[in-house]
Amino acid sequence: MGSYNYYKMFGYFNRKFEMKDNGPPSDVIQAFSAYTGDASQMSADQLLRFLVEFQGEVGSTLSMAQDLMHQVLQRRNHLNKYTRNDLSLDDFYYFLFQDDLNPPISLQVHHDMTAPLQHYFIYTGHNSYLTGNQLSSDCSEIPIINALERGVRGIELDLWPNSAKDKVHVLHGRTLTTPVRLDKCFQSIRQYAFVKSPYPVIVTLEDHLTPSLREMVAEMAIQIFGELLYYPEPGVFDALPSPDALKHQIVLSTKPPKEYLDSIKPAKESLEIKDEAEIDQGNNSNQDGDEAVNDNTGFQKSNSDTDDEERGSDSHRSSKQLGQGFKRSNAIHSAALKVEPPNDLAEGCSIDTDLSSQLGESDEHAGLTKNSEDSSLDNCNQNHFGPADELGKDPSLNIQISVQVEESDECTENHNVENSKSSPLGTPEYQRLLAFQTTDVKDAEDLDVSTNRSKTGTLEQKRLASLLHGYEWDDEDEADEDEDVNKTQMKPSRYKRLIAIHAEKPKYGLMKTILAENDKVKRVSLSEQELAKGAELYGTDIVRFTQKNLVRVYPKGTRVTSSNFEPLTGWMVGAQMVAFNMQGYGTSLWLMHGMFRGNGGCGYVKKPEILMKKAPHEVFDPRASLPEKKTLKVKLYLGDGWRLDFSHTHFDAYSPPDFYTKIYIVGAPADFAKTRTKIIEDDWSPSWDEEFVFPLKVPELALLRIEVREYDISDRDDFGGQTCLPVSELRPGIRAVPLYDKKGGKYRSVKLLMRFQFE
């Protein structure tokens, strides 16, 4: 007699269902007979022929076949030593249904790992420290550990100063997320970086720190990562190393600090206002750049490679007024500045450099120099300096200004402020300026305060700038600035020397960035909207750009629940680092898991040759109509294992489950397809025995997605497992396909028996 499952009806009656034990499918029986010559046992030689001819495993050897046979017999008979040297039909069927012995894709690294990093898709996380949503979840090192154990190779950390600005926290800025210490994150990365894969871990740092805190980060990285930390050679920015060359190395990637950028581009300067509360007079915050830069100005708030969702809404920003007429305009086009106090008050006190057009000749600055007949300090025209009676009283006015000049931008200040009775020219700040005689500013380096490379008088210039704009210099800020300047002047920044992959944001538009001629390799960060729009308008140009540079794509800021976007959007144009919320479970994340099951699950998948062709008429165009290249045949025989992993009432309280399977092809738009099997009622071991045919135009980028559901006539169908596999990695023949839960965890027993064929 067979075994039965019993289900209670209405609390009184039992329903009895026989538990079927399906034997081998007819295709398995036929294959066994064909290779044994209708005998009852299969030898090692016959198994080898089956592996090579039927399964397409051309690299198999007799010793490999013997080893497989030995493992099967040991498992089936539970003996340490088993002397039989052949397989029965049941043994053969058992072997085919073991996903570790007969997997659908290779479990070993088999791609060429000696090409530069930009030739690979890289398993990349987004906000890797978050345990849940983007607004209020806890920050922890646990999600980082989980990601590394899954094989993720790209970890993202957002670095922010604590309230005292003496320590570094990791958190999602301008949200309610609770911070985690940076050292805990670094220690977790070191401990788990190479548990799953020996290939490099790229740590992306979203930097919102001061120079002194950056040095603290550098010291922490050196001490914790030790010999695992990769130190880039001077020429590494011309071509990135290969994954093979970077085995067991931790690679840092971020936007270089401003002091480094200015050191390699001394002629390039900008005007920066540093303050925790950004001064905003109706200008919209920048939603596209790495820095919080006003779209119409060169004003910067932070030196960070920040995702657009981190900038948040204007509710996180202060809009304190500096005076009724204060406006921020474009940066000065020239590399010089001339400022003169009223003649009768400060004769000989000036900072004099060349201007393409002098400030006094501009309508906006008419009256900056005082008429000689107005000799009284009390009658000094306050219009040009702001209300002096507020100086030193309102803490919101205690800000720092660093004056830089950018080659291609222009900056002017409109000082039309209400008249006031007093003038800042009588303050101690101005008296100290009187002792500061003429200083010639010959190049950008002399004016550059924010780079901490300023020469004698730089802080005084900064004071003068604050005075001219109606702000009061803060002595506490001066002390901090002195500390940072002295520290950086004493020794070169270690932080910038640790940056192996330089990052940037396309400030002047994606098109200009990807078409710009540049010998240096860089990483460009794009939001999912930017990439989707760019791929639609100039996909081939992005493909060409990614042949040399890295492109990182991150979820849009409105995905507060940590959901994810369609990853094929990035992969179709060659974007290497499609950054995902690893806690945002769903179909998109299943596709991400599926792509990186390829190449042995090492976290690096070699980009297909179609994305690396450089000839003008050969560059891959994701929008082009392409001919059919290959046909995939998928046959689904049966499934099993649910009764071992689930309670007998999990799917239905009154009967065994009614399973069916949905099958999708996801990839190029022309390749998308979906189908489903029939429903097998009241059976824990459903046998479908159905075949499906999928013509493919871009099989190199296609994914096979499989999802099992339990049919429910009165409610939503229950989830019964899923998997996703790269079509290019599928091994032909009859294979055991393991299924995974919604979070991507592998079930212990649930799997499908399938056959794959290519024509």
β strands within 583-679, DSSP E: 604-606, 630-640, 659-666, 673-676
Please confirm, yes or no, whether 172 is among the known catalytic residues. yes
In angstroms, rounded to a whole number, what is the distance separating the alpha carbons of residues 289 and 297?
13
DSSP one-letter code for 156 = E
Strand partners, 685: none
Q: Which two tokens stand for residue 387?
A: 């209300």
Print burial letters for 326-363: b (CB count within 10 Å at least 16), e (below 16): bbbbbbbebbbbbbbbbeebbeebbbebebeeebeeee
Strand partners, 17: 5
Instruction: State the helix-helix crossing angle for 211-225 and 475-490, rounded to 10 degrees.
Output: 40
Please confirm, yes or no, whether 126 is among the known catalytic residues. yes
Of 521, 519, 483, give the one whose Cα is nearest residue 501: 521
Question: CA of 67: how far to CAs of 354, 378, 445, 560, in Å?
Answer: 82, 98, 69, 51
* 577-580 and 124-125 beta bridge pairing: parallel
Number of Cβ atoms within 10 Å of the Cβ of 26: 10
DSSP one-letter code for 415 = E
Residue 359: φ, ψ to 5°: -60, -35
Among candidate residues 126, 502, 593, 648, the one labeled active-site is: 126
Cβ-contact 602, 109 below 8 angstroms: yes
Number of Cβ atoms within 10 Å of the Cβ of 580: 29
Q: Which two tokens stand for residue 409?
A: 């931008």
Q: What one-letter code names the amino acid at 270?
A: S
Of 274, 218, 212, 217, give the one whose Cα is nearest residue 484: 212
* 523-527 and 550-554 beta bridge pairing: parallel
Alpha carbon 43 to chain centroid, angstroms: 51
3-state secondary structure of 314: helix
Cβ-contact 560, 551 below 8 angstroms: no
In angstroms, rounded to a whole number, what is the distance separating the alpha carbons of residues 174 and 318?
12
Contacts of 653 (CB under 8 A, 6+ apart): 7
DSSP states of 161-215 as a string? E-TTSSSEEES-TTSSPBPEEHHHHHHHHHHHTTSS-SSPEEEEEEE---HHHHH
Among candidate residues 111, 119, 169, 172, the one labeled active-site is: 172
Of 313, 288, 286, 311, give the one whose Cα is nearest residue 297: 286
Calculate ∠ Cα 365-367-370, nearest 5°. 140
Strand partners, 251: 202
Q: Which two tokens stand for residue 166?
A: 């003496």
Residue 550: φ, ψ to 5°: -90, 140
Cβ-contact 423, 385 below 8 angstroms: yes
Of 601, 631, 587, give the one whose Cα is nearest residue 723: 587
Q: Label residue 690 left, alpha or beta by phi (over 0 means left) and psi (-120 to 50 means alpha).
A: beta
In 227-329, which residue ranges form alpha helices assigned H by DSSP?
258-264, 308-311
Number of Cβ atoms within 10 Å of the Cβ of 634: 20
Instruction: Dihedral sign for Cα 473, 474, 479, 485, please.
Output: negative
In 368-443, which residue ranges form alpha helices assigned H by DSSP?
428-434
How many CA atoms lie within 13 Å of 137's alpha carbon, on the beta-carbon side?
Answer: 20
Active site residue ranges = 126, 172
